[in-house]
Chain A
Amino acid sequence: GQQLNQSPQSMFIQEGEDVSMNCTSSSIFNTWLWYKQDPGEGPVLLIALYKAGELTSNGRLTAQFGITRKDSFLNISASIPSDVGIYFCAGQLGKLSFGAGTTVTVRA
């Protein structure tokens, strides 16, 4: 599959903070998907993006499909403790290729 670079690899959040993560690729994609995985569970779809430039929200989550079709970002606003988990981006061109994930942990 195509190589996706997801950053940051991990982050600490404080309750109430806004956080941001992104994915870049050397290949273009037709679709970008963002998933969240809780410990011991399967990934759950958060947001799907289908058009370059598209900006889509799902509650406190906002994601954008980059204009070049080679990148996407996910923002979480006013983070809460249950936002912890691993967030994966995935790009679709034929098959789905996944980033390595961003691990979000609460700062003590």
Chain B
Amino acid sequence: NAGVTQTPKFRILKIGQSMTLQCAQDMNHNYMYWYRQDPGMGLKLIYYSVGAGITDKGEVPNGYNVSRSTTEDFPLRLELAAPSQTSVYFCASRGRDYEQYFGPGTRLTVT
């Protein structure tokens, strides 16, 4: 099992550009999550999904969108990137227990 994979690993965007961060898991987990991590801070939940076709907002959803067309994939879309979206983005998944498993992260800089 690869677990949770994320692409790309690094990305630099100009202000106003858009991009999609990819996340995939091969553990057949229903629950998937997107977090952002800013320096010296814990993880803040952006969006989550409890299964294919079902998504909901977390603490900090503004400026982001998600979709969940399959169990495996949970892409995060940034429209009109802003410097405040410079962060490290982590995708996570969990099965029926409460243990979330994280991907390696995407480091995004918006300049």
Residues of A at under 8 Å CB distance from B?
Answer: 1, 4, 6, 30-31, 33, 35, 40-45, 48, 50, 88, 90, 92, 95-101
Contacts and interface: CB of A to CB of B under 8 A. Distances in A.
Contacts of B53: none
Contact of A42 (B40, B41, B90, B97): B90
16 contacts: A1-B45, A4-B42, A6-B42, A33-B98, A33-B99, A41-B105, A42-B4, A42-B102, A42-B103, A48-B97, A50-B98, A88-B42, A92-B98, A96-B33, A97-B42, A101-B42
A97 B102 CA distance: 15
Given A1-B59, A48-B99, A98 B42 contact: yes
B41 A100 contact: yes
Interface of A is mostly: strand
Q: How large is the interface on B (under 10, 10 to 19, 20 to 34, 35 or more residues)?
A: 20 to 34
Main secondary structure of the interface of B (DSSP, over half): loop
Contacts of B58: 95
A100 to B, nearest CB: 5
B17 to A, nearest CB: 24
B43 interface: yes
Interface string B69-111: 0000000000000000000001010000111111111000000
Which of A42, A90, A92, A98 has the most C-beta atoms of chain B within 10 angstroms of its own C-beta?
A42
Contacts of B34: none
A86 B24 CA distance: 25
B102 A44 contact: yes
Given A42-B104, A43-B90, A100 B48 contact: no
A99 B42 CA distance: 5
What 4 A-B pairs are tightest by C-beta distance, nearest first?
A: A98-B42, A42-B102, A31-B98, A98-B43
